[in-house]
Amino acid sequence: MILIGERINGMFKDIREGILGKDPAPIKHWAKRQFESGAHYLDVNTGPTVEAQDQPAVMEWLVNICNETVPLPCCVDSTNPDAIEAGCSANKHGKVMINSTHADQWKMDLYLPMAAKYNAAIIGLAMNESGVPKSASDRAALAMEIVVNADMHGVPMEDLYIDPLMLPANVAQEHGIEVLEAIRQIKALAPGVRTTLGLSNTSQRCTNRHLLNRTFLIMCMAVGLDSAIADVDDEALVDAVAAANILLNKDIYCDSFLKTFRQR
Amino acid sequence: MGLTGLEIFKQLPKTNCKDCGQPTCLAFAMSLAGGKASLDACPHVSAAAREALDSASAPPIALVKIGVGDNAIQLGNETVLFRHDKRFEHKAGIAVSVCDTMSADEIAAKVDQVNKLVFDRVGQTHNVNLVAVGNCSGDAGKFAVAVKVAAEKSNFPLVLMSEDASAVEKALEITAAKKPLVCGANAANVEAMTNLAKKFDVPLVIKGADLNELATLVEKVVGMGHKQLIIDSGAREVNKVMADQTQLRRQALKKFRPFGYPTIAFADNADAFQAVVDAGVYIAKYASIVVIESADPADVLPLITLRLNIYTDPQKPIAVESKIYEIGNVTADSPVFVTTNFSLTYFCVAGDVESSRVPGYILPVDTDGISVMTGWAAGKFTPEKITDMLQNTGIADKVKHRKVIIPGGVAVLSGKLGELSGWEILVGPRESSGIASFLKQRWA
Residues B306-332: tens digit of each pLDDT: 999 999 988 877 888 999 999 999 999
Other residues' Cβ atoms within 10 Å of the Cβ of residue B82? 8
- Per CB-CB distance under 8 Å, the chain B contacts of A128 are none
Residue A139 has pLDDT above 60, yes or no: yes
**Interchain proximity B6–A141, CB inside 8 Å:** no
**Interchain proximity A191–B4, CB inside 8 Å:** yes
Q: Please state, in angstroms and rounded to a whole number, the distance separating the CA atoms of residues B430 and B343.
A: 18
Tens of pLDDT, residue by residue over A169-197, are 999 999 999 999 999 999 989 989 999 99
pLDDT of residue B52: 74
The predicted model gives A207-233 an average pLDDT of: 98
**Interchain proximity B30–A140, CB inside 8 Å:** yes
Compare CB distances from A189 to B5, B27, B254 and report the shortest one's residue.
Answer: B5
Interface check B81 vs A, CB under 8 A:
no
Q: Please state, in angstroms and rounded to a whole number, the distance separating the CA atoms of residues A74 and A63.
A: 7
Residue B5 has pLDDT above 90, yes or no: no
- Per CB-CB distance under 8 Å, the chain A contacts of B5 are 144, 147, 188-190
CA distance A140 to chain B (A): 9
Interface check B7 vs A, CB under 8 A:
yes
Residue B1 has pLDDT above 50, yes or no: no
Other residues' Cβ atoms within 10 Å of the Cβ of residue A39? 27
Tens of pLDDT, residue by residue over A83-136, are 999 999 999 999 999 999 999 999 999 999 999 999 999 999 999 998 999 899
Q: Please state, in angstroms and rounded to a whole number, the distance separating the CA atoms of residues B382 and B421.
A: 12
Interface check A152 vs B, CB under 8 A:
no
Residue A9 has pLDDT above 60, yes or no: yes
pLDDT of residue B123: 63
Closest-CA residue to A142 (of A158, A165, A171, A119): A165
Contact A98, A43 (CB under 8 A): no
Residue A100: cis peptide before it, omega within 30 degrees of 0: yes
Beta-sheet strand order (sheet of B289-292): B229-232, B204-207, B181-185, B158-161, B130-134, B93-99, B289-292, B264-267
**What is the torsional sign of CA B4, B212, B221, B75?**
negative
Residue B184: cis peptide before it, omega within 30 degrees of 0: yes
Interface check A140 vs B, CB under 8 A:
yes
Interface check A156 vs B, CB under 8 A:
no
CA distances from A98 to A44, A95, A127, A155 (A): 10, 10, 16, 12
Compare CB distances from B6 to A137, A185, A190 and report the shortest one's residue.
Answer: A190
pLDDT of residue B344: 86
Interface check A145 vs B, CB under 8 A:
yes
Closest-CA residue to B437 (of B358, B347, B346): B358
pLDDT of residue A43: 98
Q: Please state, in angstroms and rounded to a whole number, the distance separating the CA atoms of residues B39 and B19.
A: 12
Proportion of chain B above pLDDT 70, given as a percent: 99
Core vs surface per residue B258-275: b (16+ CB within 10 A) or e:
bbbbbbbbbbebeeeeeb
The predicted model gives B263-280 an average pLDDT of: 96
Q: Please state, in angstroms and rounded to a whole number, the distance separating the CA atoms of residues A160 and B357.
A: 61
- Per CB-CB distance under 8 Å, the chain A contacts of B7 are 190-191
**Interchain proximity A145–B26, CB inside 8 Å:** yes
Tens of pLDDT, residue by residue over B144-163, are 999 999 999 999 999 999 99
- Per CB-CB distance under 8 Å, the chain B contacts of A142 are none
Interface check B420 vs A, CB under 8 A:
no
CA distance B394 to chain A (A): 44
The predicted model gives B4-28 an average pLDDT of: 87
**Interchain proximity B30–A141, CB inside 8 Å:** yes
Q: Please state, in angstroms and rounded to a whole number, the distance separating the CA atoms of residues B182 and B193.
A: 8
CA distances from B318 to A106, B310, B344, B349, B354 (A): 59, 12, 8, 15, 21
Residue A70 has pLDDT above 70, yes or no: yes
Q: Are strands B264-267 and B63-66 parallel, antiparallel or unpaired?
A: unpaired
Residue A215 has pLDDT above 50, yes or no: yes
- Per CB-CB distance under 8 Å, the chain B contacts of A141 are 26-27, 30
pLDDT of residue B33: 79
Phi, psi of A146, rounded to the nearest 5 degrees: -65, -40
**Alpha carbon A113 to chain centroid distance?**
19
Amino acid residing at A187:
K
Contact A164, A142 (CB under 8 A): no
pLDDT of residue B31: 83
**Interchain proximity B6–A151, CB inside 8 Å:** yes
Q: Please state, in angstroms and rounded to a whole number, the distance separating the CA atoms of residues A4 and A200.
A: 12
Mapped onto helix, strand or coil, the DSSP state of residue A195 is strand
Residue B192 has pLDDT above 50, yes or no: yes
- Per CB-CB distance under 8 Å, the chain B contacts of A137 are 30, 34
pLDDT band at B122 (very low <50, low <70, confident <90, very high): low
Mapped onto helix, strand or coil, the DSSP state of residue B16 is coil
CA distance B209 to chain A (A): 31
**Interchain proximity B30–A147, CB inside 8 Å:** no
pLDDT of residue B254: 85
**What is the torsional sign of CA B288, B294, B295, B298?**
negative
Q: DSSP string spanning B337-406?
A: EEEE-BHHHHHHHHHHHHHTT--EEEEEE-SSS--HHHHHHTT-S-HHHHHHHHHHSSHHHH-SS-EEEE
Q: What is the pTM of this model?
A: 0.78
Q: Are strands A74-77 and A97-102 parallel, antiparallel or unpaired?
A: parallel
- Which chain B residue's Cα is nearest to A152? B10
Mapped onto helix, strand or coil, the DSSP state of residue B18 is coil
Proportion of chain B above pLDDT 90, given as a percent: 81
pLDDT of residue B422: 96
Tens of pLDDT, residue by residue over B203-234, are 999 999 999 999 999 999 999 999 999 999 99
Determine which of B30, B32, B251, B254 to mutate to test the interface with A (most A C-beta atoms within 10 Å).
B30
What's chain B's average pLDDT? 93
Chain A, 203 to 262: residues with Cβ < 8 Å from chain B are none
Interface check B5 vs A, CB under 8 A:
yes
What's chain A's average pLDDT? 96
